[in-house]
Amino acid sequence: MTARTLVKDLAALEDGPVAVAGWVETVRDQKKVQFVVLRDESGAVQLVRPRPEGDDDISRSISELTLGSFVRVEGDLKHDERVKLGGIEVKVAELDVVGPALPENPIADDSSIDKRLDWRFLDLRRPEQNLVFRVQTTFEHALRTWWVEHDFIEIHTPKLMASASESRAELFQVDYFGGAAYLAQSPQFFKQMAQPAGFGKVFEVGPAFRADPSFTSRHATEFTSVDAEISWIDSHEDVMRMHEELLVAGLTAVRDKHGEAVREAFGVEVVVPSTPFPRIPLAEAKRIVAERGYTVPRQDEDMDPEGERRIAAYVQEEFGSQFVFLTDYAASIRPFYHKRRDGDPGLTNSYDLIMGGVEISTGAQREHRIDVLEEQAREKGLDPEELRFYLDFFRYGVPPHGGFGMGLGRVLMLLLGLPSIREVTYLFRGPNRLLP
């Protein structure tokens, strides 16, 4: 048996015997000649077979091919400029239908996103979808490479927890041997644990769960959280610097490897931002959008989505940046573990990162002084006893530290100009979706 060649590698080969394998995208079953477009994970190629007088086994099996069937083909590669699809074709000598498909495809290109998600494995066969996950792979790989080159340690924190990790409201509870366990909403507490553990700099890319009943384009009940936490910082400024450098590394890799394909498939440019990203205190950001005709509804709270879009439009016009750090969040709207500003305890050393008008990340310096941390927990109505395991991390020595959490799906959605996190999540999970 000839070894299989990926479609993308065919063009570089000389004419001669090849084997290809993939699924059937189209069949043109003509009287004199039969054409099949075969797609694999790397591209599509035309198969051709002159029809013999009175048909034979191969011509009959081509006539009977159902779209989507997985086939293995041996034949002769021929370069021919007249072939529209890449200037090559494979003349079929043997064809083996390895995985026949049912004749009716349950989805079409114009099916609703919900219908497509019902049949996600078929939806993912579209080349654009394939590209989404190649971009994701490249992006994650570049982040990981950057971290490794900068001496970070990779950790995998448990997702089964004894208590809430971000807020009680969004907690999934599961039965745990007759007791209760909770699904981690964030690796927050355990990535911080790496600091008293003396790890210095850590990262994690892993699942996070939130029982958030919303149906927006940016919320999922399970999502991939990209987290980092570093020791020996002076303030959140050090975290922002690491964050922006990391994003530049990730986006540079995506642009270099997929920039052209992304432009063709999604009509957007992968732009590598220049650093530093603009930094705007939240209160000032609210003033700016108010001056531009939009008043954020609850002034004592975070930006709402419209406010985020407006401030993004401003930084795009003013600084040509797709990214902006909103800083100086009030302590009242931040979790107890954020460090308050020295000399101005109403503010925290924290930030949100906005990309293309959507929040993709929260970061902060953490409070590492146990007495202050306990006090802040109490102030937020939390029971220090329930948080004892976490508070213990701070009783035996810990350096000043901080980090961020970033939603991978949101970054990909914005990077590719796609309308929903559903399009960039391998299998989306929302309030109405547990299958497939």
Enumerate binding residues for ligand AMO (CB under 6 A): 166, 186, 188, 210, 212, 219-220, 223, 225, 227, 359-364, 403-407, 409-410
Q: Which of 228, 219, 224 is nearest to 201 (CA)?
A: 228
Instruction: State which residue, 98 or 169, has the beta carbon closest to ligand AMO.
Output: 169
Q: Which is nearer to ligand AMO, 219 or 339 (CB)?
A: 219
The nearer residue to ligand AMO, 74 or 227, going by C-beta atoms, is 227
Q: State which residue, 201 or 410, has the beta carbon closest to ligand AMO.
A: 410
Residue 133 bridge partners (DSSP): none
SS (H, E, C) the chain: CCCECCHHHHHHCCCEEEEEEEEEEEEEECCCEEEEEEEECCEEEEEEEECCCCCCHHHHHHHHCCCCCEEEEEEEEEECCCCCCCCEEEEEEEEEEEECCCCCCCCCCCCCHHHHHHCHHHHCCCHHHHHHHHHHHHHHHHHHHHHHHCCCEECCCCCEECCCCCCHHHCCEEEECCEEEEECCCCHHHHHHCCCCCCCEEEEEEEEECCCCCCCCCCCCEEEEEEEEEECCCCHHHHHHHHHHHHHHHHHHHHHHHHHHHHHHHCCCCCCCCCCCCEEEHHHHHHHHHHCCCCCCCCCCCCCHHHHHHHHHHHHHHHCCCEEEEECCEHHHCCCCECEECCEEEEECEEEEEECCEEEEEEEEECCCHHHHHHHHHHCCCCCCCCHHHHHCCCCCCCCEEEEEEEHHHHHHHHCCCCCHHHHCCCCCECCECCC
Q: How many CB atoms lie within 10 A of CB 366?
A: 24
In the complex, the smallest distance separating the C-beta of residue 284 from ligand AMO, rounded to whole angstroms, is 20
Closer of 29 and 245 to ligand AMO (Cβ):
245
Residue 72, CA distances (Å) to 15, 26, 37, 404, 407 in order:
19, 15, 13, 47, 39
Between 68 and 363, CB nearer to ligand AMO: 363
Q: Which is nearer to ligand AMO, 68 or 409 (CB)?
A: 409
Nearer to ligand AMO, 75 or 357 (CB): 357
Minimum Å distance from CB 431 to ligand AMO?
11
Closest approach of ligand AMO to the CB of residue 210, in Å? 4
Give which of 257, 270, 310, 314 is closest to 411, Cα–Cα.
270
Least spacing, CB of residue 353 vs ligand AMO, in Å:
7
Find the shortest distance in angstroms from Cβ 237 to ligand AMO: 15
Nearest distance, CB of residue 221 and ligand AMO, angstroms:
7
The two structure tokens encoding residue 165: 């990790």
Give the shortest CB-169-to-ligand AMO separation in angstroms. 11
Least distance to ligand AMO from the beta carbon of 224, Å?
Answer: 8
Q: How far is the CB of 187 from ligand AMO (least distance, A)?
A: 8
Q: How far is the CB of 204 from ligand AMO (least distance, A)?
A: 10
Cβ at position 38, least distance to ligand AMO in Å: 37
Nearer to ligand AMO, 75 or 187 (CB): 187
Which residue lies nearer to ligand AMO by CB, 95 or 117? 117
The count of C-alpha atoms lying within 13 angstroms of the C-alpha of 249, restricted to the half-sphere facing its C-beta, is 17
Q: Which residue is nearest to ligand AMO (CB)?
A: 407
Q: How far is the CB of 218 from ligand AMO (least distance, A)?
A: 6
Residue 49 or 401: the one with the smaller Cβ distance to ligand AMO is 401
Collect all residues with Cβ–Cβ distance below 8 Å to 223 and sequence separation of at least 6.
207, 208, 210, 407, 408, 409, 421, 425
